[in-house]
Amino acid sequence: MKIKRIDGGVCAPKGFTAAGMHCGVRKNHAKKDIAMIFCEVSCSAAAVYTKNKVFGAPITVTRKNIADGRARAVICNSGNANTANLDGVEKAQMMSDLTAKALGIASSDVIVASTGVIGQSLDMEPIAYGIKELPKLLSREGGNDAAQAIMTTDTKVKEIAVETEIDGKPVRFGAISKGSGMIHPNMATMLSFITTDVNIAPETLHKALSEVVEDTYNMISVDGDTSTNDMVSVMASGLAGNAEISSDGEGYEAVKAALFEIGKYMSMMIAGDGEGATKLLTCELSGAKDIASAKVLSKSVISSSLVKAAMFGADANCGRVLCALGYSGEDFDPAGVAVWFESKAGSVKVCEQGCGLKFDEELAKKVLLESEIVIKVEMSEGSARATAWGCDLTYDYVKINGDYRT
């Protein structure tokens, strides 16, 4: 599938506008803290959510709202997760109702999300003010403002747009995401909102999204903590003009390919922007007995605190990688494992047949001092492969999370 990058973020697809502003949830007036995405027509909608048993009130409301597979708007605040609050669902519903009133749509057509501190009551006064003002700011150029408004400890704005072709029609997809800490998804990232103008049935859209999430967002880890507010949603306006996609086929595969491009990009952005991180880690694992095993093994490597710490210190320690493979729970022959560390500075093989090798320590140091490192693992169990993304573990991660709330 030919897919090209374009500008515009969530506003690149036909029918969508967005906005972001500071409403007062966050004390820092320089930081935007509420975002809105709106479509001029009713959209097919789908979402996947955290599997954490402690989940945010916005997820309860969003599940209910888009149970019919339709939506027209997203409202999201940062600075407060609206999770573990006695009045959380009531306030998430208020966010939905206020957004519906401000936009002249049904409350059941609103996707609600919140991110930030857990266990603190959400002050609705600034939220109500923001929701009232945001419709005045909606524009085709508002995607970046919306992307900024959903950030918490993120240091980089995360947005992307791509274009492909279906039935001879140009079809566009856009997305914004946030995620830096509390990242060990079991469905998606902390928050990711995708828009598209493809014409696709809601159930088919949900199937495509769920399949792509398994190979992208679910393959990242910053710190091993699965967030309470994880959600990735997608709205499809249908304005591209292609024949409706309601089953497997060429059109469905094109949608999946575009969603995968977005998911992979966002996964790498989130992993590389992990709290306190200085390096993006990619584990490329091959030779596993099946895909499921390959995924577990590769994610075990990038989730290991000791692997992360070794990468921070530029220590080419193959023992950390072997250890992480060993406790993954997967059955394999340790004597059939080989490991390389690679970056733009070069490649160094550190393990063969499950045993450490002598190598050029100076070259290894250069390789691991780069900002993007590939941990290449070759098993001897079969032909399956998988890729997972993570980051190094630094002093700053502890500092950021030690005083996160205060």
* Interstrand relation of 280-288 and 110-117 (parallel, antiparallel or unpaired): unpaired
Query: Token pair of 136, please?
Result: 């005045």
CA distance 249 to 328: 36
* Interstrand relation of 338-343 and 191-196 (parallel, antiparallel or unpaired): unpaired
For 168-279, strand residue ranges (E) read 169-178, 191-196, 231-236
What is the dihedral sign for C-alpha 20, 23, 26, 30? positive
Is 152 tagged catalytic?
no
CA distance 286 to 375: 11
148 and 117 Cβ atoms separated by less than 8 Å: no
- Tell me the one-letter amino acid at 282: T
Q: Which residue blocks in 273-353 are alpha helix, DSSP H?
A: 291-303, 305-312, 318-326
CA distance 148 to 139: 15
Picking from 262, 266, 287, the residue whose alpha carbon sits closest to that of residue 185 is 266
Residue of 83, 189, 195, 387 marked catalytic: 189
- Tell me the one-letter amino acid at 139: S
Q: What is the DSSP letter of 123?
A: P
- Tell me the one-letter amino acid at 192: S
Longest distance between any two alpha carbons in the chain, whole Å:
68
Picking from 349, 294, 277, 296, the residue whose alpha carbon sits closest to that of residue 318 is 349
321 and 351 Cβ atoms separated by less than 8 Å: yes
Q: Which residue blocks in 108-173 are alpha helix, DSSP H?
A: 124-137, 143-149
Partners of 16 in the β-ladder: 39
Give me the active site residues, please: 189
